[in-house]
Structure 1
Amino acid sequence: MTADRRVLVTGGSSGLGAALVAAFLERGDRVLIADRQEPLQASAADYLRLDVTSEDDWAAALAWTTEHWGGLDVLVNNAGIASGGRIDVSSMEEWQRVIDINLLGVVRGCRTFVPGFKAQGSGHIVNTASLAGLVHPPGMSSYTAVKAGVVALSETLSYELDADGVLVTAVCPGFFHTNLASSIDSRDAAVGQIAARLIEKSPYTAEQIAAEVMKGIDEKAMVVVPDEAARMAVWAKTHERALYDQEQRSFAARIRAMSEGSEGRA
């Protein structure tokens, strides 16, 4: 088990990011929390303000790790927002925001630190995607599109950087208890309500997901699906496609009914 790694975690102040920070620290690693918000609780990790949409902030993160650590070993691109909505309800502004943060934020992180990883002949990129990157339910087109993009990017880079000694892992959890629901800013209220309920009802905690992610990192896995419910969904899509399609269409009907009911009450 490798320890004393130099680790940067975007979105590390709360949710899964904070749980991953704690897990790395427990291993004896040095950790930099790179987030727009300072950590909610005191931590042994260092903190640097970073907006993943800002090229200047990424340049500052590179400068910080170079000055204080002489480089980086693990980049965790975890920062992200929730989004959702039917294609004719969501605005283009919503699409542009989630693409800029959830996909291009990851791209910026990789572009910032890959040259250093290649120069030192080692490194590990961990990109937080989602189960939504592997299965694609209705009402979430912007979110599924960008998370599928993160999975695709991660697999591509895994092959591209293999000869340089750089590992890449995509993390694809299902719903778990987190503050992600608070970031939903969608014109499609029905989808937002359903997503919030699924997060609230999930039996999984961020700490449980982080523990499974750490196992995946240890195993050098290309894709980590850390919870049983998510693994079952992937299995159903692959092996029980007719049933899977039926469930997704039923989900779409539920969204439609909720929306029409809200409009009727209005």
Structure 2
Amino acid sequence: MSRLSGKNILITGASGGFGKELTKQLLKKGANLVLTDMKAPETKPEFYLENSKPVPGKILGSFAADLSSESGCEKAYKAAIKIQPKIDILVNNAGLAFGGRLLDVPMDKWKLILDVNLYAPIYLSRLFLPAMLERKYGQIVNLSSCAGITAPGELVYYSVSKFGIRALGEALDSGYRHQGIYTTNVYPFFANTNILHSQQFGTDKPKVVPPLIVDSPQMVVRAIVRGIEKKKMHVFPGFTAKLLRFLTRLSPGFLRGMERLGQKFS
């Protein structure tokens, strides 16, 4: 039996590529799910599963939420605990991206990235953490990125948000693990989700990620679920994510050199 069986899990961004796959795999693990996105996600388990074979998990409910403001996060918190007052695991999965260098991305766009990718997880963690501390058990899962390990010039604001999420998770783990609250940070590489097709600014020729280096959501989420079960602090899904981590630790200047070389031939 999975350690996640019977656990009440809130997933933000549940209608996206990772969100749907998280829902599917966590249902199979026997978890009880609360789902949210900009539009209320589907609550029928068969929507997420390839077949009608029964699974041990349940979808307790779903609701629409705009996490781009503090008030929106507070509304999401109230909606979630109305469905299930005891949330064991918060999965901060909601996120977005816009491509472009520092001066390319319009102000409203880069502020939106920080509001959704960074501030929303901070607000939600602050809201759900007190009850977890009272129960002396809980887990917060943050979707960072390889862009939270090394910062490409064309993903500046996305990287800022993901470096921030990385810091948030490490600080939460340092501050609360001894009180029974575990934190798991996840650092995917490019994956086949809608975020791969985000709007790009400052270029007439949008960059396309080669399919050969794009990971599948299924593989990434399997690694996430294993990381949650094992209460791991850091999860690097797939070969490329692990390689980037190794290279940044071994020689931080190596990736910068490769990036400059690529710019010469682009």
TM score, norm. by length of structure 2: 0.86
Distance in 1, matches of 2:64 and 2:253, equals 47
Residues 1:134 and 1:212: Cα distance change in structure 2 (over 3 Å) = same
Q: Is the contact between residue 98 and residue 146 of structure 1 (CA under 8 Å) also seen in structure 2? A: yes
**SS of equivalent residue, structure 2 residue 35:** strand
Q: 5 Å matches for 1:92-171?
A: 92-171=107-186
Distance in 1, matches of 2:80 and 2:39, equals 19
Of residues 181, 184, 188 in structure 1, which corresponds to 2:202?
188
**SS of equivalent residue, structure 2 residue 30:** coil
Structure 1 unmatched runs, 5+: 258-266
Percent of aligned positions with the same letter in both sequences? 25
Which has a greater percent of helix? 1
Report the AA paired with residue 238 of structure 2. D
Deviates more, 1:120-129 or 1:94-103: 94-103
Q: Is the contact between residue 174 and residue 229 of structure 1 (CA under 8 Å) also seen in structure 2? A: yes
What is the root-mean-square deviation of aligned Cα atoms in Å? 2.1
TM score, norm. by length of structure 1: 0.86
Residues 1:90 and 1:56: Cα distance change in structure 2 (over 3 Å) = closer
Of residues 64, 68, 71 in structure 2, which corresponds to 1:49?
64
Q: Does 1:224 align with 2:235?
A: yes
State the shift of 1:242 in Å. 4.4
Report the AA paired with residue 188 of structure 1. G
Q: Does 1:19 align with 2:21?
A: yes
Structure 2 unmatched runs, 5+: 46-57
Q: 5 Å matches for 1:44-83?
A: 45=59, 46-83=61-98
Distance in 2, matches of 1:68 and 1:88, equals 43
Q: Is the contact between residue 178 and residue 199 of structure 1 (CA under 8 Å) also seen in structure 2? A: no
Distance in 2, matches of 1:31 and 1:189, equals 41
Deviates more, 1:86-95 or 1:129-138: 86-95
State the shift of 1:176 in Å. 1.1
Q: Does 1:204 align with 2:218?
A: no
State the shift of 1:64 in Å. 3.7
Residues 1:240 and 1:55: Cα distance change in structure 2 (over 3 Å) = closer
CA offsets 1:140-165 (integer angstroms, 9 cap, x no match): 11111110000001100111112321
Report the AA paired with residue 24 of structure 1. L
Residues 1:247 and 1:57: Cα distance change in structure 2 (over 3 Å) = same
Runs of 4+ in 1 over 4 A off after TM superposition: none
**SS of equivalent residue, structure 1 residue 189:** coil
Residues 1:176 and 1:19: Cα distance change in structure 2 (over 3 Å) = same
Report the AA paired with residue 199 of structure 2. D
Deviates more, 1:108-117 or 1:42-51: 42-51
Q: Is the contact between residue 177 and residue 199 of structure 1 (CA under 8 Å) also seen in structure 2? A: no
CA offsets 1:207-255 (integer angstroms, 9 cap, x no match): 110001111112211111111111111211222444322102123445x
